[in-house]
Structure formats: C-alpha cells, structure tokens
Amino acid sequence: MARISAESDTYGALPRLGAAVRARRKAMVLSQEAMADAAGIDRSHMGKIERGERNVTLLNVMRIAAALGCKPSDLLLDADL
C-alpha cells in the first residue's frame, strides 16, 4: 500500500488497474465512497488506488472485487495485465 514512484511501475499497472476498477464501479452507478465502504477500504485510500497512486495489495484487490461483484482476475484482465 506504499506510495509509489512512476519509475517503479514499469508497465503502468497501477493506473491501469485503477481505471478498470473505476470503469466497473461507474457501470454499477456506485460512488467511490459507497464502494470504499462496501470494500472496507478507507475512502481516501480508495481514491488513490483508482488514480494508480498506491501499490495496491492483493487483499485490497480481493475486497474491491467483492464489492464490485467480480473476480480479482476479472479486474486484471480488464486492465490487460
């Protein structure tokens, strides 16, 4: 969950995953706050994950996928990762 520098994210994986999360969230007409609450993730941290500003952990990907009613692998596939 550490703050990350762009150089360490060679493939732009974090912004791509964040965009995939945002797209599914918006398709569900869910606010970022509601999704964060459903996932049990701090709202401010959730915003940073969606913007690709944090190195999201697998357990948070699990929580986000559960809140979005999809599999964690679906989020990675959406992000072409």
> What does R_g of the chain's alpha carbons equal in angstroms?
11
Report the candidate in 32, 27, 7, 21 with the shortest Cα–Cα distance to residue 56.
21
Decide if residue 76 touches a copy of itself (CB under 8 A): yes
Fill in the per-residue mask, 16 to 55: x = in contact with a copy of itself (CB under 8 A), - = not in contact.
-x-------------------------------------x
* Residue 30 phi, psi dihedral angles, 5° rounding: -115, 135
Contacts with a copy of itself, residue ranges (CB under 8 A): 1-2, 4, 8-11, 13-14, 17, 55-59, 61-62, 71-73, 76-77, 81
